[in-house]
A and B are shown apart, each in its own frame.
Chain A
Amino acid sequence: MIRHIFILIWNRKRSNFLLITEILLSFFVLFVVSVLLVSNYYNYRQPMGFESANVWESRVTPGLDTTDRNGTFLLLLQELRGTPGVVAVTQTSDNTPFSFNNMNTDEYHYKGKQGPLTERYDADDELARVLGLKAVEGRWFDRRDDGARRTPVVVNRKFAESLFGSESPVGKVLTNTRTPEEWLIVGLVDTYRSGSDFAANEPAIFCRRVLQGDTRIGSREDPLLLIQVQAGSGAVLEQQLVRKIARVTKGWKANMTTLEENRQDKMKVMLTPLVALALVGLFLIINVALGLFGVLWYNISQRKAEIGLRRALGATGNSISGQFLGEMLVVTTLGVFGGLLLAVQFPLLGVFGLDPEVYLLAIALATMLVYVLTAVCAFQPSRIAAGILPAVSLRED
């Protein structure tokens, strides 16, 4: 019977061509949607590489006050660190976890080889403590780095692998082709996914920036603080800190949010296009399903005489239904096969730099969805075909 179905489909290749094309396109749309959903879910399952619980973010705005900004800010840091309930305080660049800011560069080179596009973070010695970052090789910044000739940096594994392969990055010196600046890698962290819960583990580099010597806060800089507080701290401590900032700095303003709030905000922003895309995908699937349903229904109405004939020749209702389902599954297989040829190019060519596992899962998901879709769409028309009375359909012809 399988051979018979193949013969039928081959001999009806012209009428089946559009159906196969529709299935191929559906597969591809489902594949793209699946890639996005799978890659986001895949990222979501990965460790973030840092702790955001009990970490508050405070933007300090000196306004027009230009009087010894650096000194005032250092005093503020000291006061905040001494506040009961505060565990650690760090000053960092604007691209804090879950923020909407980026600071990426591809300026790093190692022995003439250019590094990947890398997210760069300014970090002082306290950042690791505040965010719970763990150096898996080497160490985090400390006083030993004061006065270092080369800027000490810590990189994540993604950065290290793309530039050094399996070699340890610690002790290696990064250069820049445009300026004489050099960076010494002192440590390696495993993962740092600060963009959002759905962000990929992109290459990251932490450059030591401590306010000492010539390094001062800029005249227009609104410093950003990350403050780790004791678990259970709430609005009372928040008010205390805001008041303390105003008192110590004599009028600087500050706002306070938590990284968890930022995380939820970012999650909403990230989920919105994903949900929209999923809805568009769902809409497409419904359209494809209605299309398939209509085509199959039409096919059956056109083939009533054939169904009657087959019943007369000994086919049972179930074998008629099985034949129609079988034909649909063979047509689906041909469409999916075409789609697979296209889809496997993505992991083979390493498109978008996604893990091949993501593509393979997406292919499996899209294949399953297409088969389920066609089987569901073919089921009812096939049952109708099975119920056609042979005497009636033969007479109608």
Chain B
Amino acid sequence: MNFTTAQSNLFDPAATGVAVAPAPAMIKLTDIEKVYQTKTIETVALNRVNLTINKGEFVSIMGPSGCGKSTLLSIIGLLDEPSSGQVEIAGRPVTSYSDKELAGLRNQKIGFVFQSYHLINDLSVLDNVELPLLYRRSVSGQERRQRAHAALDKVGLSARTSHFPSQLSGGQRQRVAIARALAGNPELILADEPTGNLDSVMGEEIMDLLLHLNRHEGVTIVMVTHDEHQAQKTERVIRFFDGSQVS
């Protein structure tokens, strides 16, 4: 399989032969099930989930702890495989993709923002933001630097490039994480409780930043949150309970 071709066409509906619609489906999950199995216990994390997220949407996923939100986000982010069901991204099923192809897709098309930031403490802010570009052979060192600086500029941290994560506040760290997601120029950002570790003021800052990216740069965002107030700011709220979608 030609991986490059697959990548370049994947998010382009015209190239896949699908008629261009006003809001094409970016993610389509069909009958997704995820079961964690040990010798004695079988835990159903997701139960027959059917979900479509359109391009340019800002969707929030809500539900109590343990209801399967993060599992769902991992499956959408190609970090985990469903036990059954089909994941389609821009009309193409990705279930049969190899590790290399999935890694390429994550790198090119998806940006991740985590509740606990997941910055590498031994790397400077700039080096952290450069990380996704390290895995793109086509990007030169100079371009990597430029794009990392541009991403940090977008989140208002261009003055902190040489700082280390431990020298930043929680809100600043999350902004670095968002800059890292942006550096790869993704079409989809998956945010797992991005304001969960922040106070309300910083949480608002981060939410505003995500809204800005969605509205002005057309980035599709799927956000898991416990915060009803933040969820209401998004276009659509999907609720989960015990592994099933309830609304």
Chain A interfacial positions (CB closer than 8 Å to B): 1, 3-4, 7-8, 11-12, 305-306, 308-319, 389-391, 394-395, 397
Contacts and interface: CB of A to CB of B under 8 A. Distances in A.
Contacts of A309: 112, 118, 120, 131
A313 B135 contact: yes
Given A8-B122, A391-B80, A315 B103 contact: yes
Contacts of A394: 74, 79, 114, 118
25 contacts: A11-B122, A305-B118, A309-B118, A309-B120, A309-B131, A311-B103, A311-B106, A312-B79, A312-B106, A313-B112, A313-B180, A314-B104, A314-B107, A314-B132, A314-B135, A315-B103, A316-B99, A317-B99, A319-B103, A390-B79, A394-B74, A394-B114, A395-B70, A397-B116, A397-B118
Contacts of B79: 308, 311-312, 389-391, 394
Contacts of B103: 311, 314-316, 319
Interface of B: 70-71, 74, 77, 79-80, 99-100, 103-104, 106-108, 112, 114, 116, 118, 120, 122-123, 127, 131-132, 134-136, 141, 180, 184
B135 A319 contact: yes
Contacts of B106: 311-314
Contacts of B141: 3
A314 B122 contact: no
The interface centre, meaning the residue of A12, A311, A314 with most chain B CB atoms within 10 A of its CB, is: A314
A307 to B, nearest CB: 11
A389 B74 CA distance: 11
Contact of A391 (B74, B99, B122, B123): B74
Contacts of A306: 120
B123 A314 contact: no
5 interchain residue pairs of minimum CB distance: A314-B107, A391-B80, A314-B135, A391-B74, A11-B122
Contacts of B123: 7-8, 11
A4 B127 contact: yes
A122 to B, nearest CB: 71
* B contact patch SS: helix
Contacts of A391: 71, 74, 79-80
A147 B136 CA distance: 91
Given A313-B132, A390-B79, 16 more contacts: A1-B134, A4-B127, A309-B120, A311-B103, A312-B79, A312-B106, A313-B107, A314-B104, A314-B106, A314-B136, A317-B99, A389-B80, A390-B74, A391-B80, A395-B74, A397-B116
Contacts, number: 71
Contacts of B132: 313-314
Given A7-B123, A8-B123, A397-B118, A313 B80 contact: no
Contacts of A395: 70, 74
Nearest to A305: B118
A21 B106 CA distance: 39
Contacts of A315: 103, 135
A144 B180 CA distance: 95
Contacts of B71: 391
Nearest to A9: B122
Contacts of A314: 103-104, 106-108, 132, 135-136, 184
The interface centre, meaning the residue of B103, B131, B134 with most chain A CB atoms within 10 A of its CB, is: B103
Contacts of B108: 314
Contacts of B135: 310, 313-315, 319
Contacts of B107: 313-314
Nearest to B177: A309
A59 B179 CA distance: 90
Nearest to B114: A394
A312 B77 contact: yes
A319 B102 CA distance: 13
Contacts of B180: 313
A391 B118 CA distance: 13
A265 to B, nearest CB: 60
Contacts of A313: 106-107, 112, 131-132, 135, 180, 184
A305 B180 CA distance: 16
A113 B31 CA distance: 97
A299 to B, nearest CB: 12
Nearest to B137: A1
B122 A12 contact: yes
Contacts of A7: 123, 127
A253 to B, nearest CB: 80
A8 B128 CA distance: 11
Contact of A316 (B100, B116, B131, B184): B100
Contacts of A305: 118
Nearest to A390: B79
A284 B112 CA distance: 46
B79 to A, nearest CB: 4
Nearest to A13: B122
A305 B134 CA distance: 18
Nearest to B100: A316
The interface centre, meaning the residue of A7, A11, A391 with most chain B CB atoms within 10 A of its CB, is: A391
